[in-house]
């Protein structure tokens, strides 16, 4: 009889969620953190036309009321027209405030001094410019920008540092991309948004999965198993190639610095972010 060790047995579906429960939990999170803890009532969401920002907008509208939600579309000259239309679909469905601010002039105003900037650098400038807009409009409306990044992007390091990760509240930060899709279907996000290939819409013709080299349905279970403490050989024995596991593990290990607060040079035993942390900061 063949014997098995505990590590040989992986959970069958580490990504399964109760979407209705997750919805209630995240709506309560938004109310508690924005209204009760910070004394604000207005949320500002950058609406890209993708599923993450759409789900975030749906949650904010239900938690705060659409009258307290400002959705901002921020296209660049090379942005997809389809993205603008998909963002408009969300606004029409929710009945929230909306505004479109073209960021081309602001981005190009800087990049004209750096004409040799490649696509990655240009994309980072666009992402950081969009965050500047969201923070300024949040101050105008007396609210906060709400983050839209998911757990898969953060663990894979697939986000712009000090842009996507900057908003003080992030309802989707503990949901893998495939879980965001499940929640989107539950919330009634338009099918066109849920089913299209995910893209940051920064560089024309690129998608998340083409840049990452792996699809989210393949990457997410590997990430989940790695976080549970399973070793690479065990994961590979359960239907994932060595190349896939190596790619995901490599990105996870090499991008930890992007998930860390600015590193403080410690001179005392009360250095902020190193020692001085209240319970809510952990």
- CATH for 15: 3.40.50.620
What are the backbone angles phi and psi of residue 123, rounded to the nearest 5°?
-65, -40
State the pLDDT at residue 259: 87
The CA dihedral of 243, 153, 133, 92, to the nearest 10 degrees, is 110
C-beta of residue 138 within 8 angstroms of C-beta of residue 160:
no
Averaged over 173-197, what is the pLDDT? 97
Position 194 in a domain: yes
Averaged over 216-227, what is the pLDDT? 97
Consecutive H or E run containing 144: strand 144-145
State the pLDDT at residue 282: 38
Averaged over 104-108, what is the pLDDT? 98
Query: The tokens of 13 are what?
Result: 């579906």
State the pLDDT at residue 280: 47
Q: How confident is the model at residue 277 (pLDDT cuts 50, 70, 90)?
A: low
Segment 127-177, tens digit of pLDDT: 999 999 999 999 999 999 999 999 999 999 999 999 998 999 999 999 999
Q: What value does the CA radius of gyration of the chain take, rounded to a whole number of Å? A: 20
C-beta of residue 45 within 8 angstroms of C-beta of residue 53:
yes
C-beta of residue 269 within 8 angstroms of C-beta of residue 275:
yes
Position 265 in a domain: no
The pTM score is: 0.91
Position 177 in a domain: yes
Of residues 123 and 2, which shows the higher confidence score? 123
C-beta of residue 129 within 8 angstroms of C-beta of residue 106:
yes
C-beta of residue 208 within 8 angstroms of C-beta of residue 149:
no
Give the N- to C-terminal CA distance of the chain in Å, as an integer: 47
Position 185 in a domain: yes
Report d(CA 195, CA 192) in Å as an integer. Answer: 6
Query: The tokens of 193 are what?
Result: 């948004």
| Full residue range of the structural domain in which residue 158 is found | 6-202
State the pLDDT at residue 8: 65
Q: What percent of the chain has pLDDT over 90?
A: 78
Segment 86-96, tens digit of pLDDT: 999 999 999 99
- Tell me: pLDDT of 1 over 50: no
- Of 73-77, 233-237, 271-275, which gets the smallest average pLDDT? 271-275
Average pLDDT, the chain: 91
**Helices (H), ranges, the chain:** 19-30, 51-64, 81-94, 104-111, 119-141, 151-156, 177-187, 191-195, 208-212, 216-227, 232-236, 242-254
Position 140 in a domain: yes
Of residues 9 and 42, which shows the higher confidence score? 42
Contacts of residue 228, Cβ cutoff 8 Å, sequence gap at least 6: 11, 14
- Tell me: pLDDT of 231 over 80: yes
Position 240 in a domain: no
Position 57 in a domain: yes
Q: How many domains does the chain have?
A: 1
166 CB neighbour count, 10 Å cutoff: 19
Position 270 in a domain: no
Report d(CA 51, CA 57) in Å as an integer. Answer: 10
Burial 59-94 (b: 16+ CB within 10 A, else e): bbbbbbebebbbbbbbbbeebbeebbebbbbbbebb
Report d(CA 218, CA 204) in Å as an integer. Answer: 24
């Amino acid at each position: 009889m063949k014997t098995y060790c505990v590590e040989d047995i992986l959970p069958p579906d580490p990504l399964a969620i109760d979407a209705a429960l997750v919805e209630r939990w995240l709506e309560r999170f938004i109310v508690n953190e924005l209204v009760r803890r910070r004394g604000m009532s207005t949320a500002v969401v950058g609406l890209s036309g993708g599923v993450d920002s759409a789900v975030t907008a749906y949650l904010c509208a239900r938690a705060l009321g659409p009258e307290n939600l400002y959705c901002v579309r921020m296209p660049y000259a090379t942005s997809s027209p389809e993205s603008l239309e998909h963002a408009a679909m969300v606004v029409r469905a929710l009945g929230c405030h909306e505004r479109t601010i073209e960021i081309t002039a602001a981005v190009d105003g800087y990049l004209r001094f750096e004409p040799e900037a490649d696509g990655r650098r240009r994309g980072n400038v666009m992402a950081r410019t969009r965050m500047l807009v969201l923070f300024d409009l949040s101050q105008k409306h007396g609210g906060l920008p709400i983050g839209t990044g998911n757990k898969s992007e953060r663990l894979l390091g697939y986000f712009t540092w000090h842009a996507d990760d900057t908003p003080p509240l992030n309802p989707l930060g503990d949901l893998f991309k495939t879980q965001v899709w499940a929640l989107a279907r539950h919330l009634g996000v338009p099918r066109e948004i849920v089913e299209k290939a995910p893209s940051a819409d920064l560089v024309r013709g690129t998608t998340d999965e083409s840049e990452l080299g792996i699809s989210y349905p393949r990457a997410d279970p590997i990430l989940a198993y790695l976080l549970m403490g399973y070793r690479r050989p065990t994961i590979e024995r359960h239907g994932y190639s060595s190349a896939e596991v190596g790619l995901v593990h490599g990105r996870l290990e090499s991008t930890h610095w992007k998930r860390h607060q600015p590193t403080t040079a410690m001179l005392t035993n009360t250095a902020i972010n190193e020692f001085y942390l209240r319970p809510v900061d952990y």
